[in-house]
Structure 1
Amino acid sequence: MEEAANRFRRACDHYERALPLATGSELKSQLYAKLAIANFNAGDIADTIRWAETGIADQATGKTLTVLHSIAGLGYRNLGDLASALAHDQRHYELVVAEGNPKRISEALVKLASLESYQGKFQSALELCERAHATFPQENRIVGITEHEILKLLGRFAEARRALIQSRGATPAFIPRLEDRTSGATELALSKLAAEAGDAREAREAYAVGRAALEGDDKLMVFADALHAWILALEGAGAESADQIVYAEGRSANVAGSASTLRDIFTMLTWAALIIGDYRNARRYAERYLELRPYPAYATIAYYQVGEAYLGLGDTAQAADAYERVIALNCATYASGQAIARLEQIRQTE
């Protein structure tokens, strides 16, 4: 991964040197877009936003302006600035509507849906997914994946599974390796969903398929390593899970530039540690997850995990405080319902 990041950083250097030589505003705008994308791929989010905003301020037009708003939205959501992300994603949607391309309109609606879900606005998020599917029914992969994430947050696991499986029927990517990566990532998502639903058998089966498709993709293999620790815990292999947890935590350094991947890793390690009764490390992993500033809907999961860790350690006061933090986020997730139930149990024993 470091080699790939360095490759993108070298590309950034070339693009920056080309900027003073650019003749015409359109060429300069295209260089701003290339700089924003290359910096994003290199994991340099601040420079991603800087170049995207510079291109927009420099009055880019046409498809280049559309790209700049899209990449700026990605940058801001990576930093957790959902208000700025929404402003750019809304403008991106308006621009693709003006272009009249149904596929791009569908993709823009899905981006808006994910932002709504991050803030706990699940009904409007699901409605946006329905609009996205109706706009371009032929391409249901990104819609299905996003819809499954929303339904999973709500604890509607059977519906989430159905949405994810339906996404498999999308038109394959033109580049075979890209299709392999996308298919493998979908299988890992199915495995993670099964783990959340407590189905160790399906989690194991989907994990095996996904991992085989992703050999050589270091970023997703680290994700798979953490997922494997969780599956082992579900299967009752406590000692093997403990060893895998240590291994996956060590490997997490390989994806230090990807906050979203680190969040996934630490939440999976937390679940694994909770299952095998390693409550001190479970608390540590959940707190590490919170340090990565998850979106409000996902923070409900992290605080619930912190509560479960404290409960396992016998500290009901700290557990209750964590559960109350879940409720204070005002996101009606599955984790919120679990936190409310735990608080009731604690109060009944006082």
Structure 2
Amino acid sequence: MPLKNDLLLRTIAGEKTERTPVWLMRQAGRILPEYRAVRNSLSGFKELVETPELAAEVTIQPVDILGVDAAIIFSDILVIPEAMGLQYEMVEKRGPHFPETIKSAADVKKLKVADASDVQYTIDAIKVTKKELDGRVPLIGFAGAPWTIFAYMVEGGGSKTFSKARAMLYTDPELSHQLLQMITTSTINYLKGQVEAGTDLVQIFDSWAGILSPTQYEKFSLPYIKKICDAITEVPKTVFAKDAYFARAWFGKINCNTVGLDWCMDIAESKALIGDNKTLQGNLDPCVLYGSEASIKEATQSMLNQFGPARHIANLGHGVYPDTDPGKVKFFVDMVKELSVRA
């Protein structure tokens, strides 16, 4: 089915467009009262992720309410470790928690390489969403980068340092590579399933990229992201690596189409490092949206000026924060649309 709004895909392809496309990381979520109404009717976050019709409903909400140029499937990066055999819980106000963690070769031996069918609920949610979107906007699929997934599986949850996960890279590099490869193969299978179900592009989130040194990142994260990008040939790929300033030049050389920037990454410097053959995505500070409409407009204009009219997808430099006023979020979306119109 041809898309009615293919602005995002044309921008990624480097085509000249009538304006800059805009969507937001974490747009399907807690900022919207409509999302909270669905979420509060359920036992918890995981039930929402695992119920295709409801996951589709909250995926589409921001398209209807905020007017964004893409939908991103409502799911979680931690569905992959669970599909591999490591269960997780989502603890209210604390985040993800793994009752069991990976400490040894024996623990890795208990895991399996996951197939897309092991995350069938997300595959089904994509099919439902595609049908209900009816070609209005592209649908983005996603997965966590292998290092970020590894970090959660070894650490057991969020952490300021991820010292257990980082320590394993030094104390048992061979086992680390074995686990990272299993995660990578599982992720490729999962993303291929997403594409087959109907996603128009995919994004790889390396949320904990910035806690590794450049040397360790080049050894334990970059090669696995590269493998995923090389394997997914059917749709465009976006790589977003939070705080990994040193990785930008590398991302300019790998087989991805778009590089996401966080709000601390200088735009001109990023463009110089990444080169002209990639589209850039980002990178407004999410906290700008706490400010006045005048200050949001000014910051949006500044961002658009710095990126320029070509090969830019407007977004935040990370996910929208849950206590942000939805009216301010919509104002930002509207401002991108208004201020980026090309003559």
TM above 0.5, yes or no, is no
Name the structure with the higher helix share: 1
TM, length-normalised to structure 2:
0.32
Q: Which has the higher contact order (CA 8 A, sep 6+)?
A: 2
Name the structure with the higher strand share: 2
